[in-house]
Structure 1
């Protein structure tokens, strides 16, 4: 602004000089022409800078418009992915249930064959060795519906007790295996509190094959000396009892009256994909509406 004032003042002085004929007209007109050019140069950058700023702002708005469109597109993709994940999880649960309810097969002679038979039902005949019981604790009785609701939680509700693991000598195979006879409440962990179920005769057992289990974070280590086990370590359990590293969960029908309650195989998998589907599709719908309202309808949000 000061430059503009200076230019106009100088031009006015030149006109006064022209009238007084103090300097030659050619020189005066050259100075006047120079001053006018100088004033134009001073004014034009302002116009150019304003047009440049408008163009930059328009380009920024265009970039923001298409960048924000990525949000509804991404959430829609995540929702569709969760739909596929839910279908896969439901099929996996159905496959596991079919294995645990299929007709049992004879327990293989070679324990290595069991590596590909997890959750498969097998049958064997023999005697329990109650003198070498092992206890996996704390445990609660299996309730598939409750476990589906509590899957993924750090703690669960319900009664606390233990699973009783007993060596089982298979008379037809000549080997001992480990059988999870089932659940007992805390006040029935000691064998003398459930003597009716401590049978010594030969019995038929149908069970679900289980493989060794890796210790999960925050799970205590197994205390072998105190006979407090927190996860299935087949090698360690076999070393303590002298049995083969073969482990089965006795089914509910194999429960002996007065003894542990069978059917403690947990086959319920965490299935919260429906919640994720609703979340991602809901976000997609909300952000799509906001994008349309701002960039198409021009509504100020």
Structure 2
């Protein structure tokens, strides 16, 4: 059986040869006739023959974001470095203030002790805070107040607050004589310890006229975690100067007795039951430089994180679409 050229071409390619354009088309004859009858010539039917034709495949694909770039979390992330920077700047100001304050107090400590005047204006105490002063009078041990608990060298104890009655001057002030261990809370225990020790002639409960040297201090400020004092029970958890002065009938003037700072002196005082006074030095913590480094470091780290989040493309195919100029 012999095949004609057209039949052979159709059998070889699986298509039909168009009688008008003389090209093999993989379309049935009816569809070819329909296309030619609608006025479509070979150039319009085969767009690849047009030299000006540009395919979508020839256009480079561009990744673009769909919808919003980032959610509300980006705003929160942007607030972190700004807040940290503001806190760091505030700590710089606090550092400058604390350095000036310590320098002012240290300058006052270098001056000779000033005799305490007979009448004291409590509102002017702030101008003489950490000023070395001396006061003469008699201790009212019957009105002694113990403030505690207070820790010293990992041992529990109390601050001994005793009113000092200034003879001939008509005023009474409060004197923080220092710290005693809990086992010497009772006055009789201190007197017994003094009798058993021969290291010092100083008495734990001095009688008669004494001269006290110490630092004039401003009233203390209570924090929110300290319980309220109960004077009627003899329980003082916080040295509230005004409350203690009202209870003892004295002026709201507070003096912290000082002593020579040495281990042997402290040991001898504790053994004899004598309160351990504070050293004549400024005890103000100054950690603001650490806070400055911490806050500025946090601001820098979060700023880098913010930049990485903004520059990083959105993950997942849902956040991208392919875009072409000739789509």
State the TM-score bracket (shorter-chain normalisation). Answer: 0.5 to 0.7
Q: CA deviation at 1:76?
A: 7.3
Structure 1 residue aligned with 2:23: none
The unaligned stretches of length 5 or more in structure 2 are 1-25, 48-53, 71-75, 192-202, 312-327
Q: CA deviation at 1:68?
A: 8.9
TM-score normalized with structure 2 length: 0.58
Give the one of 124, 127, 135 matched to 2:146: 135
Distance 1:277 1:118, change over 3 A: closer
Q: CA deviation at 1:115?
A: 3.9
1:224 aligns with 2:231: yes
Q: 3-state SS of the aligned residue for 2:252? A: coil
Q: CA deviation at 1:177?
A: 0.8
Q: 3-state SS of the aligned residue for 2:164? A: strand
Tell me, in whole angstroms, the C-alpha distance in 1 between the residues paired with 2:30 and 2:289.
Answer: 84
Structure 2 residue aligned with 1:145: none
Structure 1 residue aligned with 2:155: 159
Give the one of 188, 198, 217 matched to 1:210: 217
Q: CA deviation at 1:92?
A: 2.8
Tell me, in whole angstroms, the C-alpha distance in 1 between the residues paired with 2:32 and 2:310.
Answer: 55
Q: CA deviation at 1:205?
A: 1.2
Tell me, in whole angstroms, the C-alpha distance in 2 between the residues paired with 1:13 and 1:172.
Answer: 134
Q: CA deviation at 1:171?
A: 2.5
Structure 2 residue aligned with 1:187: 183
TM-score normalized with structure 1 length: 0.63
Tell me, in whole angstroms, the C-alpha distance in 2 between the residues paired with 1:174 and 1:263.
Answer: 27
Q: 3-state SS of the aligned residue for 1:140? A: strand
Distance 1:177 1:75, change over 3 A: closer
Q: 3-state SS of the aligned residue for 2:176? A: strand
1:103 aligns with 2:112: yes
- Contact 1:86 1:274 (C-alpha < 8 Å) held by counterparts: yes
Q: CA deviation at 1:139?
A: 1.5
Q: 1:188-234 CA deviation, whole Å, 9 max, x = no partner? A: 12111223321112121122222333431221211212212111222
Tell me, in whole angstroms, the C-alpha distance in 1 between the residues paired with 2:294 and 2:282.
Answer: 27
Tell me, in whole angstroms, the C-alpha distance in 2 between the residues paired with 1:165 and 1:204.
Answer: 16
Greater radius of gyration (CA): 2
Structure 2 residue aligned with 1:4: none
Q: 1:14-66 CA deviation, whole Å, 9 max, x = no partner? A: 642255xxx5xxxx238x999999xxxxx999999x65xx3448x959xxxxx
Q: 1:218-253 CA deviation, whole Å, 9 max, x = no partner? A: 212112122121112222212221212211111115
The unaligned stretches of length 5 or more in structure 1 are 1-8, 38-42, 62-66, 142-156, 297-301
Between structures 1 and 2, the one with greater strand share = 2
Q: CA deviation at 1:272?
A: 3.0
Q: 3-state SS of the aligned residue for 1:90? A: helix
Tell me, in whole angstroms, the C-alpha distance in 2 between the residues paired with 1:82 and 1:211.
Answer: 24
1:250 aligns with 2:257: yes
- Contact 1:182 1:261 (C-alpha < 8 Å) held by counterparts: yes
Give the one of 116, 122, 125 matched to 2:133: 122
Q: 3-state SS of the aligned residue for 2:242? A: helix
Measured on the aligned residues, the alpha-carbon RMSD in Å equals 5.0
Structure 2 residue aligned with 1:299: none
1:92 aligns with 2:128: no
- Contact 1:183 1:264 (C-alpha < 8 Å) held by counterparts: no
Q: CA deviation at 1:85?
A: 4.4
- Contact 2:177 2:277 (C-alpha < 8 Å) held by counterparts: yes
Distance 1:86 1:35, change over 3 A: farther
Q: 3-state SS of the aligned residue for 1:95? A: helix
Distance 1:76 1:173, change over 3 A: same
